Amino acid sequence: MISLNHFLVVGALLFTLGLVTVATRRNAVGILMGVELILNGANVNLVAFNHYVTGGVTGQVFALFVIVLATAEAAVGLAIVLSIFQTFKTIDVRHADLMRE
Amino acid sequence: MEHANLQVVGHAAEELGRLAVHHVSYLWLIPLFPLVGAAINALVGWKLQRMFGKKIVHRIAVTAMLAAFAVALRAFWQLLHLPADERFLQDTLWNMLTAGRVTVDLAFALDPLSMMMVLVVTGIGTLIHVFSIGYMADEPAYWRFFSYLNLFIFAMLLLVMGDNFAVMFFGWEGVGLASYLLIAFWYTDPEKAKAGMKAFVANRFGDFGFIAGLLLLFWALGGAWTPRDGILRNTDYQPAAELNAVAPAATAAEADALAPRVDGVKVGPTLNFRELRDQVVIEATGVKERLVHTHIWGVSILALIGILLFVGAMGKSAQLPLYVWLPDAMAGPTPVSALIHAATMVTAGVYMVARLNFLFALSPSAMGWVALIGAATAIFAASIGFFQYDIKKVLAYSTVSQLGFMFIGVGVGAYWAGTYHLLTHAFFKATLFLGSGSVILGCHHEQDMRKMGGLKKYMPITRWTYLFACIAIAGFPIANGFYSKDEILWKAFTSRHLELFGVPTPWLGPLIYAIGIIAATGTAFYMYRSYYMTFTGEYRGNSGHHDEHNVDPHAAVAAKASALSHAVHADDGAAHAFGSDAHAPSHGAVSLRAADHAHAVHATAHGHDAGHSAPAHDAAGHGHHGGTPHESPWTMTLVLALLAAGSFFTLFLGIPAAWTHTAPLLEHWLEPTLLAEVPFANVEHVWEYVFQGTGVLAAVVGWLGARALYKDGISDVPARLKARFEAAWTVVYNKYYVDELYALVVLRPSVALARALSRFDGTVIDGLVNFVGAIGRTLGRLDAAIDKYLVDGLVNAVAQATWGIGRQMRHVQTGRIQTYLYGALGGALVVVLLNFLIS
Amino acid sequence: MFLNPGNVLSWATFFPLAGAAAIVVLLAVRYVANLPKKLVDDGARLIALLASGLSLVAAIAAWRMYDPTETGVQLTQHFVWIRSFNIEYLVGADGLSISMVLLSGLISFVATIASMPWWSGAKAAEMAGMVEHDHGHGDDAHHPKHFSVRMVPGYMFMLLLLQTGMMGTFVALDMFLFYVFWEVMLLPMYFLIGVWGGPRKEYAAIKFFLYTLAGSVLMLLAIIGIYYNSAPAMLADGTMSAGHTFNIIALGHQGAQGQFLSAAPILGMAFTKLAFVALFIGFAIKIPMFPFHTWLPDAHVEAPTPISVILAGVLLKMGIYGILRFNYAILPDATAWAAHAMAVFGVINIIYAAFVCLGQKDLKKLIAYSSVSHMGFSLLGMAAMTPAGISGAVLNLFTHGIISPMLFLIVGVIYDRAHHREIEKFGGLASELPEYTAIMGLAFFASLGLPGLAGFIAEFMVFTGAFPVFTGYTIISATAVIITAAYYLWAIHRMFLGKLNPVYKGYPDLNWRERISLYPLAAIAIVLGFYPQAILGVINRSLHLIIQNIRPL
C-alpha cells in the first residue's frame, strides 16, 4: 500500500533535485528548470496532504494555482533570460553580475 | 524810533527805587556797524583790497567806527536830556534762551557808566583805527587787520552795552577772541602765535572764576533747585518757598509770569543787571538782607561771589596772578596794544566791578581783596617796569600797574574814581602806546630803547605828545592822570571798612595808600626813564656796536666797544637770553660774563629783531634796519595830538570837590549808576591838600630820579647800580620768573597729566576692552577646538564606522543568484538549527 | 497734500530706504542691460542725494508742522504690526524727538554731500585719490583710492540704510520698533567702516559692532523685562490681544504711576533698578560714557569722513536720547536713584576726555575725544533734572550735532590732501589755506564754547541747571572751559600758525564740495549762538514734562 510517506519522499526528492539544479547550474535555462522541479516537489506534497490528511479539493486547487504560476514564471523567466542573452551575449549567470557594485 | 516809553514805579525820593527805563530801538545799531564792517572786510576784504587798493579797506572800517560813534553821540544826547535818575536806555532785540528760571534776552542798555564806556570805545577806537592806516600801511593782510579791529569793537560794545550777564559775557569772550586774533596777527612767527594762545588761555582761567561767581550769584538769588537726599546742597540757605519750586517755563513770557514779585519788583534768580540791581537795592524785597546773611561752606556767599567774579576781572584786566599774558600780548601790532591792551579791553574787569558796585559794596571782604590785589599788582608791575628795555614792555607793565590803581579805586569803594582813572588812562596810555608805535615805525620796527635815543630831533610831534602823556601818567596836575590817581589814593587812605576773610582790617586802607604812593613814584620814574632813553641823547640806532652786529656780530663787540659798555652789554645779553629762553642754565648764564658768550646771545637777539621786522620787508618805502628815524605820517601824528589833547581836557571832569565844593562832573554824571554807599572816614579837607601835595611830590621824585639817571644817556650810574645789585636786577628783569613758575606749576603738570591720561586711555581702558575681546576670542578658539575634535569627532566616527562596514559588506554582494541562494539556504539552516537547539 | 502730519515722519524715515531699493534696482538693471560702471556709480550717487534730500525736506516739514505750544506726542502714525504681542508700527514726535529728527535729516544730507566726489577741484580730487580710472591710485597703502569712488552703489546703499535706521530710532514710539531700527543702524555702520575705512578698518569695525551689540543685548533684556511687567494698553484699532504693551507712551504713563515698582525683584535687586542699569549701559556705550568710550576714537579714526560725521553728529546723540526716552520716562524712580552716579560719570567724561584730548597727537582722535568730553555735559545736565539743566543737555546734543560734523569734515579736508593727521607734522597751514583756516577757527571756537557760537549756550545752561544740584561737580566740570581752550588753541598753534612747512606748499584751499557741506553748518552754528531759543522753544515743554514725573527718592 502506498502511504503518505512515499509521496513525501518523492516530493522531497523532487525538491532537493530542483534545489541542487538551481544551486549548481550556470545556464539560466537550467536554473529555470530547477525552479520548476522545486515547484513540482511542492505540488506533490500539496496533493498528498490533501488526499491523506484533510480531504476535499483545497490541495488540488493550490496545486493548480502553482502550475499556472509556474507557467507564468517560466514565461517571464525566459523573457528575462532572453534579455540577459541580448545584453551579455550569453546565458551564463556568472557573467550577469552588474548588480554586484 | 520808539519814543520814550517811561516806566517808573514811584518810591520815596530819598530811597532808591526801581530804575526808570526808556525803551529805545536804535541801540543795536552801535554794535551793528562795527560788526558789518568786520564782516565785509572778513568776507570780501581781500578781494576789495586787490581790486581797489587798501584805501577801500580802511574806509569801510573807519566809516563803521564813525557811524557807531555818531549813534553813540545820539544816545548821549538823549541821556543828557533826561533827568539824572532816569538815564537808562534799553533796547531788547529778542529772547535768546529760556528754560526754567534762566531767561536771557539779547538786549542792550545804556546808563551813564556804559555810556561813558561806549564813548571811550567808539571815540578812542575810531582814532586808533585812523592811526592804524599809517601804521599798518605796509601790511599785506591789511583787510584782515581792520576786520579784526572792527570785530574787537563789536565785542567790546557788547561787553559794555550788555543788559545782562550773558550779553556781557558774549562781549567778554568776544574781546578775548579778537585779542587772540590780533596778538597772533603775525602768525608766521611762532612766538607771537604763542603769545596769542597764552592770552586766551590765561583769560580762560579768569572766565572760569567769572562763570563760577555768576552761577553762585544765580543760585544765591534762589535758582531753580530741587533738594534731593545724598546730593550736595546748601543747608544754610533756604530761599523763599515760592522760589524753591521748580517752575519750568518754556518761553520768556511764561518765565516772566512765574517770577515772584515783591512790591512789583521781580525777585529771584536773574541774569539781568537791572533786575538784579532793583531787587538788591530796594530794601523791601528782603533780598539784600538774605544775601548778607547767607553763608556757604562757612564763607559769606557775597564775599565768595565777589571774589570769584573778581577772578574773572583778574584775567581780563591782567591782575596778579593772571597778568602774565599782557606783557606777551605786546607781540601784536602796536595799535592793537593801544586799543585792546591799554584803553579798552583790559579795563573790562574794572568796568564789571563798577557795574556790580551795589553787590560788591555789600561785602567788605570782597572789596578788601579787590583793593589789596590791585595794590599788589600796582607795585609789582611797576617794579618790573623799571628794568625793561623793550619800549612796549615798559608800557605793558605800566598798564598792568595802572589797572592795579583802578582796582584800588573800585576796591575801596571809590567807584567813580576807579572809573575815572579808567577814562584818563585810556587817553594817556593810548597816547603813550601810539607814541611808541610812532617811534617803532620811525625806527624801522625797532623796539629796544637801547637802540633809540635822540629821537626828539627826528620826531617832534611824537616827542611832545609822549612827554605830555608822561606828565599825565606821572601825576602832575596839568594833565588828567593826577586827578584820578589822587582821588583813588585819597579814598584809599580814608577807607576803614575793608575786611579780609571777614575780619575787619581798618589798617588796610592806609597800607594800600602807602603802596600806591610808592607805586606812583615808580610810575613816574619808569615812564620818564622810557622818555629819556627814547627821545634824548644821541641816536643809537645806527651807530655803535649794535649796528656792527648787522655786519658781523662776532667781531663787533671785541673790536669796538668800550670796556664799560661792553660789560654792561654782555650783562644785558646774558639776562636777555635767560629771560627769553627758559632752557638756558641760569647760573651759568649769569656768572659767565665772557665776551664770547655775549656774542652768541647777541646773535640770537639779532635774529629776534629780524623776526620783528619781518612784516616790514614787503614795504617799499622803508629802509633797512638802521636807517635814519623819521616822523610818522600825518594821520598818525594827528591822532597823537588829539589823544594828548584829550588827556588834557578830561582833567576837567574830575576837579576835586575840595577845590570847588561841588562833586566832580564825572562823579555827578555817574551817580545814578554807581549808587553804592560806602562809608569813608571823615577827614578834614586840609588833609586832602596835603595828600595832593604828596602825590605831586611822588611824581617829582620819580621824574628827577629818571632825569638824573637817563637823560641824554650820559650817566653811567644805571650800569654801575646794575653791576652792584646783580642778582636782584636779574630776578626783576626776568619778571620774578613768574612765567617759569607757571610753566612749572600749571603747564607742565597739565601736559604731563594729559599725556599720562591719554596713555592710560590707550593702554589700560582700551587694553581692558581688548582684553575682554581677547578672552572672548580665546574662549571662541577653545570652543572651536572642542567642537572640532569632540563633538564633530563623534559624529564623524559614527559616519566613518558605517562607511567602513558598508565597504566590507559590499563584498558579500556578488550579484550572482547562486550566492544568494546559498545565503538563503544557510539562513534556513540556521533557523532550523536554532529551532532544534532552543526547543 | 503729499506730506501731512499723519505721515510726514514715516516719509522722513523711509525715503532713504526707498533710495536704497532704487539702488538695488539699478544694480539689477546693470547686469541685465550691461550699463557702464560710471553711469551706475553716478546713478547711485544721484539716488542717494535725492533720497536723503527728500528725507531732509520731510524732516523740515515735520519740524514746521510740530506745534511747540502743545505738550505730548504729535505727528503720530500707527497701525497694528504683530497682534499677538501687541506690537505696533507707531511713530510720533515730541519736542525731544523732533529736534533730533531735524538734526538727523540735516547731518545725513551733509554726509551724503560729503560722500560725493563731485565739485572737487581737479587738483584736490587728484590728491585725494578720487580719480576713478587712474592707475597711479591703486589700492596700495600709500595712495589708496578715495572711499567716494570705491564700490559706489554699495556705499550709497549702506549710507541710505543707515539713514533710515537713524531716523526710525528717533521717531519710533514702540519699544520693539525702536529696537528694530536700532539694530538696523548697526549693520550698515559696520560695513561702512569695515569696507570703506582706513588702514585698521576691520579692527575698528568689529570693535564698534561687538561693543554696540553687547549694549543692545542688555537693552533687549531690559525691554523684554519691561514688557512682561507692563499693564496692557490699547492698540491702534482699539483692541488688545496680549496682556502687556510695547507702547512707550503708555509705558511712560504706567511708569509715572509706579507700575514697575511692584515687579518682582531679580536676584535680590529691585526690577526698576536692574532695568535701569541694563538700559543705561546699553545707551551709555552709545554716548559713549567713560569707561565704555574706547570704541569711539578707533571707529572715528578709521571711518571715512562722512561716516565720522554721522557717527559724531547723530549716533552719539542716541545714547542720551534713549536714556531720556526710556530710563527717564519709564523708570522715573530708578532715575532719581541713579542721578548722582550719572552726574559723576558726566564729570569724569568731561574732565578725563578733555585731558586726553590735550595729550593727543592725531587730530581726528583729538576731535573724537572732544566729543566724549562734550557728551559729558549732557550727562551732567540731565542728571541735575532741573529745567535749565535738561534743556541745556538736549540743546547740547543739537549744537554738538552741528559742530562736531564740522570738525570731522575739517579733518577730512586735510586728510584728503596730506593723507595723514599727525598734528605735529603740520605747521603754518594758515599761510597756504586761509579759507580752510578761517572755517577751522570758527569750528574750533564754536566747540570750545565761545559765546556767540552754538556751543557756549548749551554749556552755560548745563552749568546753570546743574549748579544748584551738583555744586561741586559743576565747578569741577567748569574747569573744562580752560582745558578745552588749551587743547584746541594748541592744536591750532601747531597746525596752522608759525612758518609754513614747505611740504604743504601748493595745497589747494577748500573746494566747492567742502564748502557746500561746511558753510551751512557754520551758518547754523552762528545763528544758534545768538538765537538758541529756536531749538529751546521747541524742546522745553516736552523735557520739562519728563522731569516732572521724576520724584526724589
pLDDT of A68: 93
Tell me the shortest Cα–Cα distance from C227 to chain B, in angstroms.
30
pTM of the model as a whole: 0.82
pLDDT of the residue at B832: 92
- Distances in whole angstroms, Cα of residue B812 to Cα of each of A31, A100, B822, B827, B831: 21, 9, 11, 14, 20
pLDDT given for residue C375 in this prediction: 93
Closest partner residue to B815 (CB to CB) among A19, A24, A97 is A97
User: Does the pLDDT at position A97 exceed 50?
Assistant: yes
Residue B376 or residue B767, greater confidence: B376
> B613 pLDDT band (50/70/90 cuts)?
very low
Q: Does B297 touch chain C (CB under 8 A)?
A: no
In total, the C-beta contacts within 8 angstroms joining chain A to chain B are 25
Chain B residues within 8 angstroms (CB to CB) of chain A: 810, 813-818, 821-822, 825
CB-based contact A24 B821, cutoff 8 Å: no
Indicate yes or no: CB of B177 within 8 angstroms of CB of C445: yes
* pLDDT at B551 > cutoff 80: no
For residue B656, name the pLDDT band (cuts at 50, 70, 90).
Answer: confident
The pLDDT tens digits for C435-482 are 999 999 999 999 998 998 988 999 999 998 888 888 889 999 999 989
The C-alpha atoms of residue B117 and residue B107 are separated, in whole angstroms, by 17
Q: Tell me what the mean pLDDT of segment A54-77 comes to.
A: 90
Cell of B761: 586711555
Cβ burial of B245 (10 Å; 0-12, 13-18, 19+) is middle
Torsion sign over Cα C236, C237, C238, C241: negative
Q: What is the mean pLDDT of chain B?
A: 79
| pLDDT for the residue numbered C143 | 60
CB B428 within 8 A of CB B473: yes
pLDDT at B239: 39
pLDDT tens per residue across span C193-250 = 998 988 888 888 988 888 888 899 999 999 999 998 888 888 877 777 778 889 898 8
Supply the DSSP string of B88-129, one letter for each residue. Answer: -EEEEEEEEEEETTEEEEEEEEE-HHHHHHHHHHHHHHHHHH
Q: Using one digit for the tens of pLDDT, what is the confidence trace for C74-115? A: 888 888 888 888 888 999 999 899 999 999 999 999 999 999
CA distance A72 to chain B (A): 20
Q: Which helix (H) or strand (E) holds C93?
A: strand C87-93
In the predicted model, what is the mean pLDDT of residues B237-249?
45
User: What does the pLDDT look like over C375-416, one tens digit per residue?
Assistant: 999 999 998 888 888 899 999 999 999 999 999 999 999 998
Task: Please give the Cα distance from C224 to C278 (Å, whole number).
Answer: 11
Q: Which residues contact C244 (CB under 8 A, 6 or more apart)?
A: C86, C227, C228, C229, C230, C231, C232
pLDDT in tens, A44-53: 999 999 888 8
pLDDT value for C53: 94
CB–CB of A97 and B822 under 8 A? no
Burial zone of A14 (CB within 10 Å; 0-12 exposed, 13-18 middle, 19+ buried): buried
Question: Of A19, A24, A94, which has the smallest distance from its Cβ to B816's Cβ?
Answer: A94
Write out the DSSP string of C110-164.
Answer: HHHHHT--TT--HHHHHHHT--SS-TTS-S-SSSPPPGGGSSHHHHHHHHHHHHH
Contact C439, C518 (CB under 8 A): yes
B218–C482 C-beta distance less than 8 A: no
The pLDDT of residue B247: 54
Cβ contact C260:C272 at 8 Å = yes
The answer to whether residue C469 neighbours chain B at the CB level (below 8 Å) is yes
Give residue-wise pLDDT tens across range B731-765. 877 777 888 888 888 888 888 888 888 888 888 88
Report the amino acid identity of residue B198: K
Q: Where along chain C do its domains lie?
A: 338-553
Per-residue pLDDT, averaged over B530-551, amounts to 64
Strand ranges across the sheet with B5-7: B5-7, B21-23, B89-99, B102-110
The yes-or-no reply on C/A contact (3 CB pairs or more, < 8 Å) is no
Asked if B178 and B148 count as a contact pair (C-beta separation under 8 A), the reply is yes
Give C276-314 pLDDT, tens digit per residue: 999 999 999 998 888 888 889 889 999 999 999 999 999
Say yes or no: B769 contacts chain C, CB-CB below 8 A: yes
The model's confidence at residue B63, banded by pLDDT at 50, 70 and 90, is very high
| pLDDT score recorded for residue B230 | 36
Confidence of residue B586 (pLDDT cuts 50, 70, 90): very low
Classify the complex by whether its ipTM is higher than 0.95, answering yes or no.
no
* Percentage with pLDDT > 70 across chain B: 85
C532/B96 Cα distance (integer angstroms): 6
CATH 3.40.50.2300 fits A4-100, yes or no: no
- Rounded Cα–Cα distance for residues C493 and C230 (Å): 57
Cα within 13 Å of Cα(B44), Cβ side: 8
CA distance readout (Å), C146 to B629, C125, C198, C363, C411? 58, 9, 10, 19, 15
What pLDDT, on a 0 to 100 scale, did the predictor assign at position B574?
39
* Residues in B touching C295 (Cβ below 8 Å): 769
Closest CA to C151 of C114, C195, C197: C195
Tell me the Cα Rg of chain C: 23
Give whole-number Cα distances, C141 to C137, C146, C249, in Å. Answer: 10, 12, 52
- Do the Cβ atoms of B818 and A22 come within 8 Å? yes
**B653 in helix, strand or coil?**
helix
The greatest distance separating any two alpha carbons of chain C, rounded to the nearest whole angstrom, comes to 73
Distance CA B516, CA B557 (A): 42
Pairing of strands B21-23, B89-99: parallel
Q: What's the mean pLDDT in C40-62?
A: 93
Say what the pLDDT of residue A99 is: 66
Rounded CA separation B233/C472 (Å): 9
Å between C68 CA and nearest CA of chain B = 9
Q: What cell numbers appear for C340 in the block?
A: 548722582
Q: Residue C395 corresponds to which cell in the numbers above? A: 540743546
Nearest CA to C380 out of C301, C315, C474, C282 is that of C474
At residue B448, the pLDDT reads 81
Alpha-carbon separation of residue C421 from C139, C380, C413 (angstroms): 20, 31, 10
CB B2 within 8 A of CB B25: yes
Give the three-state DSSP class for C74: strand
The model's pLDDT over B268-282, given as tens digits with 9 standing for 90+, comes to 778 888 888 888 888
Name the CA radius of gyration of chain A, rounded: 17
pLDDT top residue among A78 and B623: A78
CB C513 within 8 A of CB C113: yes
Query: What mean pLDDT do residues A2-31 have?
Result: 89
Q: Which band of pLDDT confidence, cut at 50, 70 and 90, is reported for residue B48?
A: confident
